[in-house]
Structures are given as C-alpha cells and as structure tokens.
Structure 1
Amino acid sequence: MTALPSPAVDPARTLAELKDLRALTGDENGAQRVAFTPRWLAARQFLKDRLAELPAEVHQDAAGNLWATLRGDSERELLIGGHLDSVPGGGWLDGCLNVLAGLEVLRRVSAQYGGRPPVTLRLVDWADEEGARFGRSLYGSSAASGFFDVTELAKLRDRDGVALGDALREVGVTLEDAPQARAELAKAAAYLELHIEQGPVLEGLGLPLGAVLGTVGVERHTLTFRGQAAHSGSTPMNVRRDAFLAAGRFGQEIYAIAERHGGVCTVGSVKTWPGIVTSVVETCELTLDQRHLDAGKLAAMWQDAQDAARRFAEEGGCTVDFGYLWNIEPIPFHPELIDAAEASILEVTPATHRLPSGPLHDAAEVARAGVPTVMLFVQSLRGISHNKIEDTREDHIALSVQALDRLTTRAMAWVQER
C-alpha cells in the first residue's frame, strides 16, 4: 500500500465544528443528540449544510442512514462511517468525531481530485448507533448489514411507550422498508471508522492513537438463583437457603473467570424477591455480560460462569436457571487494513498500539456483512465516555483527523489494487 500525495486536511476546522455541534445540540448535562429526536435532526441538518458545499450526492436510505457520495472513476466504494446520535447526557466526541473528521477528509479528497477521486468515496452517518432510546444498538448499520429482524424491532418501545416504528415515521422512515438499506453496501470495498477509545488503555500507555484489531464478542445472560424465603430474625444462618448469598459468591467469582481467560465480566443488575428487610432472599436474578476478542475463550468464560453458578447454588441449598439475553461473535478487522491503520498513525506520531474494542461499533456490523473494515482509536482522557466529562486532548483530536486522512489515501490505493 503506497500513500498518494495529498493536500493537507484542516484538523482545526474539525475541532471548531465539533464545538459548534456541542453548542447546538448539548446543554449543561452533556450531549443530547438521542436518535430520532429534534436535536438529532438538528445535528443532521448541521451536517447537511456543510455537505452542501461539496460536489457530493446526499441521500437518506430506507433505514434512515445519511449518505454523502463523491463519485469516482471506479464504482468500487471506500466508506468512512460514524454516528451523530448520542446517549442522553453523553460526551461531545462519541460518534460525531467520526462523522466530522470524515467530512474533513471528503473535503481534502474533493479538492485534490476536482470532485472525482480514483474510487468512489462515501461518508455515512449511521442512524441510532447508541440504542439509547429503544435499547437496540447499531440499528442503522444492522439494517445495512442484513442482521435485522423487523418483527422483533417492531416490538420496541421507548420509556414513554412510543414504538420504534412510530418514531421512524416521524423522520420519514418505514420500519418494514429498513432492510432495503442492504443495497448501500453492494459496492463497498472497504470501511474506515475513527472513534474515541472510550477506555483507559491508550492513556495508560501515553499514546494518542491506536489501531483496532476488532470488536469483542459478547455473551449476555440472566442467572436466577432460587432458595427459600424465611424470617430474618428466627432463621439461623447455617440453615438458610439464601439466594442472594449464592448470587453474591458468584458475583465475586466472575473476576477470577475474567482474569483466567483475559476477558471482562460484569454483573450489571441484581433483583431480589421478596425484597423486604425481614425476609431471607428467596429469588435473586442478575444479568451477566461477558466479552472477549477470542471466540473460544469467550465460550470458555460462559461455561465457567455456568459451572460456578451451579456450584454456589448447590452449596447454598439453592437452584439456578439461565436465561438468554443477547450475543454477538467477535468481529476481527481486516489484517491488511490494520497494517495500513498502523502505518498511517506512525506518519503523524512516533508510536502506536494495537488493541481490541470492548464497546460495539457500527464497524462491527459492516465487517459482519463481509466488507473489509478497520478502526482507529484516539485516546480518551480518564477512559471516560457516555458521560458529560468525556474528553480528548485537542492536539490528539488533530492527530486523529490527520491519521484518518492518511488511512483514507492508503485505503483508496488498496481498493484500486484489489
């Protein structure tokens, strides 16, 4: 992969636009660009106004994703993606850095090639990556990838009881037609995405940028421990069948499981019944989230969790049942594009690091669809995201825009060679 000469991008413009978007769609509690809401639409218009300055074709697909296309000499397409939507009270960079950095790259490419690059270049703002309103992450990209169940999605409601289908109609989308977005990937030859890390690894290493190996696989389940309700005062400790005790021992064990396999495990919620101070817990339900980049180790982690839960239940005179919530396999990114990402980073900063992504991203859905994919991470201060204090150093933001631009140059050449 040989980089082509190119005029310079302007990271200062991207930084200014990020701040303008923050002022337009945020408040004292953070970003408020929840998908399919007025502020999300305002963010979309903010992007459209800037795309209007380019010789790009702009349209919204059947799922509500927004596409800007610079037609090239080749119909083969290089995609740059991100998402403008946020969680409520989120950070100023999560998602929108991807889109606005991609916008700046489109400007550079358009200027260099007079609006017609060697390959077709497309910028996509995926709809509802976060899933903050309806609980279903990666909505728009999954419609494009084909991993999309209209029947199940039609059941989703927000906290006010509004159905996803009704919310989509408000922005000109029909849920039943959303799978037609699959056509948008028909000519895709590669996909690039820049994102804040949302974790502490790069900061801990003192590095501004990293090349992403892929997104981890996820197993999510419920575990329900069942014992016996009994009076809190009259039941001796040694004869109790306390469902919470079994669950608590399990909660401690997941740290050992995670350490043993090199993954992460999280008990995210715990509910008890009868849930009163004068009764030993009869039933305790918890949710378990497990993640690993290696499919075999992820499967081993889930098996170890089941074995441990059964052991602690038996020791406490209880039973345990397992319920399925959701899972996704690990999604490795393309090795040649990972190499290209690393080389691009090293052109703008002396050192880098390869790391997996613990959070899911639209890039995972695109890769699932068979499109060669890679991501760049830029350091997150304190490793914090989905929070109004989310932040990244401005000089690191500038480096990330430059690295994405260089990766785009490499990826265009790579697409031409294939």
Structure 2
Amino acid sequence: MSGTTLNPRAGEINPARTVSELKELRALTGNAQGAQRVAFTDTWLTARDFLKDKLAELPVRVRTDPAGNLWATLEGERDTALIIGGHLDSVPNGGWLDGCLNVLAGLEVLRRIAAQGKPPVTVRLVDWADEEGARFGRSLFGSSAASGHLKLEELRHLRDKDGITLPEALARVGVDLERAPQAREELRTAGAYLELHIEQGPVLEELGLPLGAVLGTVGVERHTLTFRGQAAHSGSTPMHRRRDALLAAARMAQEIYSIAARHGGVCTIGSCVTRPGIVTSVVEECSITLDQRHLDADRLAAMWHEAQEAARRFAQEGNVEVEFGYLWSIEPIPFHPDLIDACEAAILEASGTAHRLPSGPLHDAAEVARAGVPTVMMFVQSLYGISHNRIEDTLEVHLEASVRALDRLADKTMRWLTREG
C-alpha cells in the first residue's frame, strides 16, 4: 500500500501508515514461524532495501557507515543532530515489532519534519546493524562501534552455527570488520538520541497503560557459582552423610527471590549443570549461572554481595565448597533527565497517561548514552509481555499512539536542542 495514499494532508504525522508499513515488512521478511531478519543475511538485506525505497521519496542523504549502520540525514539549520534510531534485524522466528517499529515510526516522523521545511537542527534516522546478536552472540554490534566500545579482538574469531566467521559475514554485505570502529564519527554532531521500542515485558499491560518513559537500562552482573561436594552411591549413602552439591545450589534458587525482593531488582538462575549427572550418584559438582539486574549501581552491588554470602553459607551448611566465576557485567545507564521529562510530557499529550520504568533488556540506546549523547527511550505496551516470539503483539491503537508520542517528543527535543545550543 502506498504511503502517499494513506497521508491525509502533507506535513501531518500519519501513524496508520506506520502500522501499514510494519505489516508490509512482516509479509516481506517473515513466515509462519515469525520474523527472519537475522543480521547480515539475505532477508536482512531485503528489509534494508525496503527501508531504502521508502527513504528515496524524501530529501535525505542516505549512507552506510563502516560498521554497517544505515543513516538517513535531513539537513537542518544547524549541524547539531537529533537522532532517531532502531534496528531492522530480528532474532530467528522473532516478533513483527521488535526493532522495526523503532525504525518505521522514526521514518514517519522524518517524513513529517521534512514536509514542513528545513528543521532547526539536523535530523537523522539510523538503522543499527545487528542489535540482537542472534547470529554471532555479540549484541549491539553497530551501536557499540559508534559509541567506541567495540573490541575487535573479541570479534575476529566469532562463528555462527554454520561455521561462518563474523568478518566473512560482514564482508558479504560490504563491511570490513577492521574499519568498523570508524563509525564513531557518526556521533560527532549528535545532540540527542530517541528510541521507541515495544516494552517486551508485562509492566505497562498490568497497569493498563499504552506508553511509558524509560528511566535507563539496568546494570547487569553475570556470574557462575560452582558447588563441589563428593560423589557417592545413591543407595548406600545415608542422607545425613552426603556432601550434595546440588542441595546447596538448590537453596540458592529460592534465596535469589528474597534478594531481588529486598532490593527491587531481578535475579535469575538460568542454567544448572550437575556432575557426574547419573541417576545412581549423589551430585559431586553443580554449576549454576546467576544473572542480576538493577537500575541502581549500589543496589546491584549489594545484590551480588548478598548472593555470595548466601552461597558460602549454604556451602558451609552442606559441607561442600563454592567457587565464583565472572561472566559479564555492565553498569546501569541512566537516560537524560530533561529528555525523560520531555518523553513523559509527549506521552501525556498523545495518550493522557504516562508511567516511568526502567528497561531490563539492553538496547542500542544504552550504547549511545554511554558515548555521552543525551538519550531517552519510550516503551509501548506489549501484549502478554512476550517478545522474541512470533506471538509478540501490540494493539494497533497503541502502536499509533506511540508514533504520535514519538513525533511530539521529536519536536520537544528539537526545541530543547535549540535552547541548549
């Protein structure tokens, strides 16, 4: 369906067109199992071509940076840039809205601004390359290249399930991994960054609200906890004589819920591996993974400290040993307070109600904020709180409200940049 026929009057935002284009993209790049826009694949390139065709109708300059991020630039009265971003790539069998809503809503805002003449600041739309990390396990590829946090030594030897290396996959789409850090130049004139995203969780749905202003992305601590006891025959070893590594680990499964409740964070044991792992033996070794998240750095540190204390206590009570291993961590990344206020005001204008909430998942916005660019995100309600799944969905009335709110936020941010300038 042509975007032109959907627009009632030039220069007006048309949220219905965004919903229509989302459905077009779903039909073009999905199947019965869901979205298939995995980064650097042919389907991802098809999605990129879809976006380029839409951008060709606008007075913008389109280019791909050295990390594979696609930029559309509408020149303004000043070089200072308002950036609106998202990502077209998806996980395999993913949802129809994750990432691409951000891009296509931003496209509609760009249309509206362009139709009203030269804006007071430059406006840029970016489709970040490989936000999901679904193929090579490294999320936020394009945005971390732009933020300066891409470490090439960690990426050169990454392979997908078919044995293709990341440099090989990038070369196929015209990107040289060694040049990817040069994408940092793209944020040189950045004055503010906005990102709309489906919530991917149940908070807004439980509150009965369509939209929320995001306070920031939470900090993450990921560790392994390995309990070591002694293997023994399951039939001949009395219960009181056992050094059962699984018993200590099992007690942690309940304790993390208490830790999360005390601090208002979240904790997850996502993996549990036992050895020797046979039905006739007491568990000698049990290794679990622990993921802890909080928006406050001090509370996050306290959660990890309490987890260690509990693990040592359970190990001592069970006459086993415990060892801790580091997996990964990232600090909490708060968004800009002025832009959070502007986001909430835009939501109130578009829907009459608003809520502030943190983001549990990481997003490209986190990398942009880490680069020192004033940033904010807006969430729109996710039905069932489900994402990364073909049943991912949002009411169309809420999708349209999110486009209107993003448009209002863009205007408020341009005025803010003009004042701050």
Q: Quote the residue 2:276 is aligned against.
A: 274
Q: Quote the residue 1:207 is aligned against.
A: 209
- SS of the equivalent of 2:116 reads helix
1:73 correspondence with 2:77: yes
Q: Quote the residue 2:110 is aligned against.
A: 106
The within-5 A match list for 1:261-340 is 261-340=263-342
Aligned-residue CA RMSD in angstroms? 0.9
Q: Quote the residue 2:51 is aligned against.
A: 47
Indicate which of 141, 154, 157 corresponds to 2:156: 154
Q: CA deviation at 1:176?
A: 1.1
Q: Quote the residue 1:10 is aligned against.
A: 14
Q: Quote the residue 2:418 is aligned against.
A: 416
Q: Quote the residue 2:64 is aligned against.
A: 60
TM-score, normalised relative to structure 2: 0.96
Letter of the structure 1 residue corresponding to residue 285 of structure 2: T
Counting matched residue pairs gives: 411
TM-score, normalised relative to structure 1: 0.97
- SS of the equivalent of 1:314 reads helix
1:291-329: CA deviation from partner (whole Å, max 9, x where unpaired): 000000000000001111111111111111111111110
Q: CA deviation at 1:83?
A: 0.4
In the alignment, structure 1 segments of 5+ residues that lack a partner are: 1-5
Q: Quote the residue 2:98 is aligned against.
A: 94
Q: Quote the residue 2:36 is aligned against.
A: 32
1:330-365: CA deviation from partner (whole Å, max 9, x where unpaired): 000000001100111111111110111111100000
Deviates more, 1:225-234 or 1:292-301: 225-234
Indicate which of 21, 27, 31 corresponds to 1:23: 27
Deviates more, 1:290-299 or 1:277-286: 277-286
- SS of the equivalent of 1:74 reads coil
Q: Quote the residue 2:6 is aligned against.
A: none
C-alpha distance in structure 2 between counterparts of 1:161 and 1:229, whole Å: 37
Q: CA deviation at 1:7?
A: 3.7
C-alpha distance in structure 2 between counterparts of 1:338 and 1:8, whole Å: 25
C-alpha distance in structure 2 between counterparts of 1:272 and 1:155, whole Å: 30
Q: CA deviation at 1:91?
A: 0.6
Indicate which of 393, 396, 405 corresponds to 1:394: 396
1:178-216: CA deviation from partner (whole Å, max 9, x where unpaired): 100011000000000000011111111111001111010
Deviates more, 1:356-365 or 1:312-321: 312-321
C-alpha distance in structure 2 between counterparts of 1:360 and 1:20, whole Å: 27
Q: CA deviation at 1:155?
A: 2.7
Letter of the structure 1 residue corresponding to residue 283 of structure 2: V
C-alpha distance in structure 2 between counterparts of 1:351 and 1:98, whole Å: 21
- SS of the equivalent of 1:221 reads strand
1:30-86: CA deviation from partner (whole Å, max 9, x where unpaired): 111111111111111110110111111111111111100001110000000000011
C-alpha distance in structure 1 between counterparts of 2:260 and 2:397, whole Å: 35
Q: CA deviation at 1:8?
A: 2.1
Q: Quote the residue 2:5 is aligned against.
A: none
The within-5 A match list for 1:337-352 is 337-352=339-354
- SS of the equivalent of 2:351 reads coil
1:136-184: CA deviation from partner (whole Å, max 9, x where unpaired): 1111100000111100111322122221111111111111111000110
Letter of the structure 1 residue corresponding to residue 55 of structure 2: L
Q: CA deviation at 1:272?
A: 1.1
